[in-house]
Structure 1
Amino acid sequence: MKTIIKYMLLCLLAVNTVTAQQNSQSINLSNAEVTPYEIELTQNKTTHILFPSSIEYVDLGSSEIIANKVEATSNVLRLKTVKEDISPTNFTVITNDGKYFSFNVSYKGQPIQLSYDLTKFEKQKSKKQSEVLFKDLGSISPSLVDLLMKAIIKKNKKELNIKSKTYGVEAWLKSIYIQDGKLYFHISISNKSNLPYEVDYISFKIKDRRTTKRTTIQEVSLKPIRSYITSQKINSHSKQDTVFMLDQFTLSDKQVLSIEVNEKTGVRSQVLKLRSSEILKLRRVELLKL
């Protein structure tokens, strides 16, 4: 009898051990699910979705739906079906700030709603979006980059005194910060004139300091990875702060960094020039109190 009981206990122990091993080796992915938005599409009407940031990536689950970014904007997506009564499908959108959006699509001849504003979820914080990482940002999340840029503007620390002023418009490089091999340039533009000032583009170029008439000017254009700009237009007697993120670089004693603020259809462009010694005055992002 004792032998039988021992045998039964050994069997139970073996079953429990196998079950424990199976449980330790498997993960329930339902806890990692990205909750999708439910949306209705139709063939004869266009549906528009307003995202909180620029659209970087769109993947459609079926060729029976078509999607395009609205040309005049970067954060509005328009959708419709190619025929009536399509099968249920889905699509995915990733925005510039790293947010990941998933949608379940069903067909309806007369959808109740044709326009969606997802920025409302940003304000209400009632629905969290998953976040992705971009190669050009390295290990820094897009939301952290956005937070750092806002913190730099809020801090408004005047570390540098590099200015350019013409026709009542003044550009000022206030500070440079660094984190994980990325440089943050804080530029303030003040419009003291009676005419609005509209920024066409801001460029970053490494140039030779001194050139002769017989020497070809050597320059290298640097492309910003990210930028924080609230508006391209600066009204009269107002100012705007912007932050640009660039990959880390260095200058020789014979080079300068030229930051050019170009006015759209105007002549009030500004040029800020930095030497290598001024680039080295950058501050660590850790010094900001977020």
Structure 2
Amino acid sequence: MKTIIKYVLLCLLAVKTVTAQNSTKSINLSNAAATPYEIELTQNKTTHILFPSSIEYVDLGSSEIIANKVEATSNVLRLKSVKEDIKPTNFTAITNDGKYYSFNVIYNEQPIQLSYDLTKFEKQNSKKQSEVLFKDLGSISPSLVDLFMKAIIKKNKKELNIKSKTYGVEAWLKSIYSQDGKLYFHISINNKSNLPYEVDNVSFKIKDRRTTKRTTIQEVSLKPIRNYRDFQTINSQSKQDNIFMLDQFTLSDKQILLIEINEKNGVRNQVLKVKSSDILNIKQIIELKL
């Protein structure tokens, strides 16, 4: 009798297992699809797309179309077909702010439109783009980084007395914030002179505070991961603010961080000196009202 009961239980268990396996269904990803834009290309005319942010990546679905970033810009893509009457294809693009764009391409000898401004389109149509994560940002999304930077700019609080002044141009390090293993440096440039001030580059270097002629100068360059904007020409009697994000670091009492702002074809260079105490006493971004 016990043998029969065991046999029946085994049969029921086998039937249940088979039923469970048969009831397993594949997941339909149609609801997760990234809705593509539709675009027409031709061979004898160039199509341009203006993206809201710098282009980081482009992948073409066919060798029958070509695409390049416009050299003088970072957010304009030009495209055309390599021959007439190409087959329908697609391409994707990822921008610096983490947005993912998908395009369906069809051939048209006379495209209705040759220039597309996605910045204008997204504002008018509230199209929500898919977002990707970048390795250098870790688990922080690019849109959240942008939110942090905007909050710092909006707060515009001068928490540090670190400044440099040369020939009518002032540079201030207003504040340093931290969040999720990243440091945010708020730098402001005020051009009080009568000549425009064009920034060539901004560098971050850790150096020894005291060195002698016999001592080898120790220098470590730090590369910003992101910045709020590319410094442009600062007109006379005007100012501009920017945020630079770097990986978190600390300084010893014998070290100093130099932030060097160099003028293009000029001598009005600025140097901001940051001590270890300035780094250790920074605040977290969560203290700001986002």
* TM above 0.5: yes
- Counterpart of 1:144 in 2: which secondary structure? helix
Secondary structure of 1:84 counterpart? coil
Deviation digits for residues 230-287 of structure 1 (CA, Å, limit 9, x no counterpart): 6411111111111000000111111100000111111111000111111111100110
* Match in the other structure for 1:141: 141
Q: Does 1:40 align with 2:40?
A: yes
Aligned counterpart, 2:56: 56
Aligned counterparts of 1:141 and 1:121: Cα–Cα separation in 2: 23
Partner of 1:233: 233
Q: How does 1:259-274 map to 2 (within 5 A)?
A: 259-274=259-274
Q: Distance in 1 between matches of 2:164 and 2:206?
A: 18
From 21, 24, 27, the counterpart of 1:22: 24
Identity fraction in percent: 84
**Aligned residue in 1 for 2:154:** 154
What secondary structure does 1:224 align onto? coil
| Corresponding residue for residue 85 of structure 2 | 85
1:168-188 residue CA offsets vs partner (Å, 9 max, x unmatched): 111111110001100000011
- 1:176 maps to which residue? 176
Matching residue of 1:285: 285
1:69-218 matches, within 5 Å, as 69-218=69-218
Q: Deviations over 1:131-160 (max 9, x none)?
A: 000000000000111111011010011111
SS in structure 2 opposite 1:153?
A: helix
1-structure distance, mates of 2:20, 2:208: 71
Residues 106-138 of structure 1: per-residue CA shift (max 9 Å, x gap): 111111111100011332252111000000000
Look up the equivalent residue of 1:145 and give its one-letter code. V
The offset of 1:82, in angstroms, is 0.8
Gaps of 5+ in 1: 1-13
Call closer, same or farther: CA 1:19–1:126 in 2, change over 3 Å: farther
User: Aligned partners of 2:150 and 2:263: how far apart in 1?
Assistant: 24
* One-letter identity of the residue aligned with 1:156: N
User: 1:65, CA displacement in angstroms?
Assistant: 0.5
Distance 2:78 2:169 in 1: 39
Tell me the secondary structure at the aligned position of residue 30 of structure 1. Answer: helix
Residues 67-106 of structure 1 deviation map (CA, whole Å, 9 limit, x = unaligned): 0000000000011111111111000000000000000001
* SS of match in other structure, 1:43: coil
Cross-structure match for 1:219: 219
- 2:224 maps to 1:252: no
**Could you give the per-residue CA deviations for residues 201-235 of structure 1, whole angstroms, max 9, x where no partner exists?**
11000011111122222111000000012641111
- For the aligned residue pairs, the C-alpha RMSD in angstroms reads 1.7
